[in-house]
Structure 1
Amino acid sequence: MHTGIKSLSVSFFFLLILFSCPCYGQEKESFISDTFTMLDFNKLQKVKLEINSRSDRFLPAYQKLMADAKNALDAKPTSVVEKSRTAASGDKHDYLSLAPYWWPDLDKEDGLPWIRKDGEVNPMTRGENVDTDAKNHLFYHVKTLSLAFFFSGEKQYADKTKELLQVWFIDETTKMNPNLDYAQGIPGRNTGRGFGIIDFHGILNIVTALEILKSGNALEPSVETPMRKWLEDYLNWLQTSKFGIFEKTRKNNHGTLYDVQLVCLLLFLDKTDAARTVLESVTENRIRHQIEADGRQPHELDRTKGMTYSILNLSGLTKLAFLGRKERIQIDLWKDESASGTLKKGHDFLYPYVGNDKTWPYQQLGSMDKAVERLQKMFAATGSMLNIPSYCGEEKALIKKDDVQHLLYPCFL
């Protein structure tokens, strides 16, 4: 059974969709509601209306979301104190991870120091000895459960979301300290690196979950107050720690995703002026340094997974452009007529590879089919976030009907 608001009359409903669809007709100038930081609240509301009207357009994706959410109800809450190892600080509450592309040196008896094999994940950097998998499960389950609550209105999903947040961020015996001082360390070389900040890109899902709970009158002060405090402390760490300052200076996807975390938290915590200052710097500090005049991203193409990292960086820049279009900010990072690199040129460079029309000439370890599928999803998301109809075309951006992305980044054609 679908739950939520009462269905609109058929005629009025389709007029509503016709005149408010985000990818209808030409690209249009518009600013985005501030209700949710990382998602377009108005578009999500329209998707919810369609679901409640029993429209088939989003039904497969909604059914997939609800099936995943039902499984997540049984998920055991995860905590940083459960790992078998402890960070160099001696404090189990400190998040711990190891650099994924580094391996023991087989020419050394003790394997130290570890050596780099770019693109090849060392299985020793996963599992119960570190927090990586537990953190990934947290971000995924919180995202799934909170979205299920938004679209269904069923309280059990909100309650489970809060349980997971309580264990990871709030309870004194299990909570994580708000720092990444021991993220992506390399045995024999260091105990943590600024590059480890990318581990927490999923914090965006935590922000969205809190906003969904708040909008649904399901966020009590006993959860909201300590969560805002934790995120405030983590933001301060990002801005003032040596690792945060280091990551801010990176000229590849690490710098971009640092900015995404930073701006998201600044907006969520109502630090609008500081968020605007960061976004005003993106064109010169990120886009100009990362995208060439022909659209190539040389820092990403030099990697052993050139397409994967080009997508990762461009997706991050697109999120910054989305944040720039918020009603509070109104900075358009997309409309740039410069002769040098632009966000549009970065997309233009990758577009010929969306439908396998052109052979990828750079290195790409692993499955090319999976990389192309990820590329297709990126274009569909960009089309929805920035209202670009050509990126929503079914002949190019092929996404399975049951992909939850349809709910988050809808393209009404």
Structure 2
Amino acid sequence: MSLKVPKNPLEILTPILTSHPTPQALQHLHDLCDELLASDETFSVTFSKIPCPEGKNHLFTLKPHYWEIEPGKWEYRDGQRNPYCDLLGGQKQLEAMSRAVHTLSLGAVYLGAKDNEWQERCLTRIEHVLNVFFVDEDTQMTPEVWYAQCQPGENPARGNYAFVIAVRNILLVSQSLPLVQHKLSDTLVTQIKDWFKAQTEWMETSEQGKAVRAMNNHHTTWYHAVLASHLTCIDKKKGVSHANQFFHQEIKDHPDPFTFNQYSLGRARPRHSTLFALEPIFIMAALTYSSELEKPSKKIFNYLTDLVNWAKTVEPGDIERPLEEQGRFEAKLGWFERMLKRWSGEEVATIDPQGENLWEEGWKKRMKVTWGFL
């Protein structure tokens, strides 16, 4: 099969759609797990180079599109990310932790049965990573995200509705914990679920949570993707119910691709924004059912199909043309098309995409793994 080659590596958040991954995916997964097992690195928002001024245990991130044009004066530049924001480091720590837990969990489940000692090492590593990030008093992250996406230069620091973009990768943990929880310490599993409960309650009751729900755009979709993932981890029936209720309202509020993407079309990078909005809604679709034998309803499937087909018509903004001319947009669309094929019952290729140096040029190893789980 063919797949466009992006010359800038992509990282896409996707659900896991099959318990029968491709052989190539399992080999890549083993390699990634071995890399994590060979390291003793742990992750914490307290390791940030610039800790939160309100306390080191808080996730502290800044709105990335603001640039200081003179001392104390900041200018908004849509589509242009200020590298200064990356110096804070807390979000990168959260993302690295989430990927590590997700990868090791998949390894323990899909590779561990053939090597009990190797599986035990994966589980021990997961427990250590989770303890440092969520449990240890000195390094744990506070579940309430009051200081995510703060306005640069604002004093005191105050987060806003976009906090969910900063924390979105944490859904990898709430989606992978159920895979391995029966093999982990009962006490630890309870502590992690209590953390998710605290974050869920804060998301539902805080002013920032209310603000992102009122946005009614892709920030809102990401909010529900994180919330539904946490709820599914805590109580699967509640998670499934939340996901289905979301789609009932979403299709009513945004009945066609244009209304769904109105926010994206107004951005400096409309293609990027359009595809970014597809990630959480596909994650939500995978949370509307309880087992691999099921799939999204026909109504939801048709809705997603329309969104993907419409996305193909979106023209790039001037600021994103250099990337889009290298196949990045088409490459990412291939992931959503593969998920639709899986749900439609069509045959899904069980080999890696073919092409000279395809994976090496444009796909991170983790993406090679997730491709094989779709």
The interval holding the TM-score normalised by the smaller chain is 0.7 to 0.9
Name the structure 2 match of 1:361.
Answer: 315
Instruction: Determine which of 90, 101, 110 is the counterpart of 1:142.
Output: 101
SS at match of 1:324: coil
Report the alpha carbon displacement of residue 259 of structure 1 after superposing the two structures with TM. Answer: 0.8
Write the letter of the residue equivalent to 1:373.
A
Q: Which residue of 2 aligns with 1:21?
A: none
State the distance in 2 between where 1:292 and 1:191 align: 35
- Distance of 2:301 and 2:196 partners within structure 1: 37
Deviations 1:225-266 (A, max 9, x none): 111111111111111111111111222210001111111212
Rounded Cα–Cα distance in structure 2 between residues aligned with 1:199 and 1:270:
24
**Structure 1 segment 285-324 matched on structure 2, within 5 A:** 286-290=250-254, 292=256, 297-324=261-288
**In the alignment, what sits opposite 2:115?**
none
- The C-alpha deviation readout for 1:79-119, integer Å capped at 9, x for no partner, is 12222333242x11111111122211x1x3x143x222122
Question: What is the deviation of 1:373?
Answer: 1.1
> Aligned Cα RMSD in Å?
3.0
CA distance in 2, matches of 1:181, 1:228: 20
C-alpha contact (below 8 Å) 1:296/1:349 kept by paired residues: no
Output one character per residue of 1:199-242: Cα deviation in whole Å (capped at 9) or x when no partner.
1211221123312222xx42111311111111111111111111
| Aligned CA distance change for structure 1 residues 268 and 77 (closer, same or farther; 3 Å) | same
Matching of residues 164-313 of structure 1 within 5 Å: 164-189=129-154, 191-214=158-181, 217-270=182-235, 272-273=237-238, 276-277=241-242, 279-284=244-249, 286-290=250-254, 292=256, 297-313=261-277
- Quote the Cα distance in structure 1 between the aligned partners of 2:191 and 2:301: 44
- Quote the residue 1:389 is aligned against: 346
Compare the two structures and name the one with the higher helix fraction: 2
Distance 1:337 1:68, change over 3 A: closer
Contact (CA 8 Å) 1:334, 1:344: kept in 2 or not? no
1:84 counterpart letter in structure 2: K
SS of the equivalent of 1:115 reads strand
User: Which residue matches 1:19?
Assistant: none
Alignment equivalent of 1:60, drawn from 4, 12, 24: 24
Distance 1:290 1:300, change over 3 A: farther
Matched residue, 2:3: none
CA shift, 1:305, in A, is 2.0
Q: Which amino acid aligns with 1:139?
A: S
**Are residues 166 and 290 of structure 1, via their aligned partners in 2, closer, same or farther at CA, if it must alter by over 3 Å?**
same
Detail structure 1 runs of 4+ shifted over 4 Å in the superposition.
293-296, 330-334, 397-402
TM-score, L = length of structure 1: 0.73
Provide the TM-score with structure 2 as the length reference.
0.80
For residue 333 of structure 1, report the CA deviation from its aligned partner.
5.2
The CA distance in 2 between the partners of 1:305 and 1:172, in whole Å, is 41
User: Which residue identity is paired with 1:380?
Assistant: R
The higher relative CO (CA closer than 8 Å, separation ≥ 6) is in 2
The correspondence for 1:348, drawn from 281, 300, 309, is 309
Instruction: Answer yes or no: is 1:380 the counterpart of 2:338.
Output: yes
Q: Distance in 1 between matches of 2:163 and 2:170?
A: 13
Using a 3 Å threshold, how does the CA distance of structure 1 residues 231 and 273 change in structure 2: closer, same or farther? closer
**Number of residue pairs aligned between Structure 1 and Structure 2:** 336
Q: Distance in 2 between matches of 1:140 and 1:336?
A: 28
Alignment partner of 1:389: what SS? coil
State whether residues 146 and 209 of structure 1, in contact with CA within 8 Å, keep that contact through their aligned partners in structure 2: yes
Deviation at 1:287, TM superposition (A): 3.6
- 1:374 deviates by 1.2
User: What percent of counterpart residues are identical?
Assistant: 20
- Residue 336 of structure 1: how far off its partner (Å): 6.1
Give the residue type in structure 2 aligned to 1:199.
Answer: A
Q: Tell whether 2:335 aligns with 1:370.
A: no
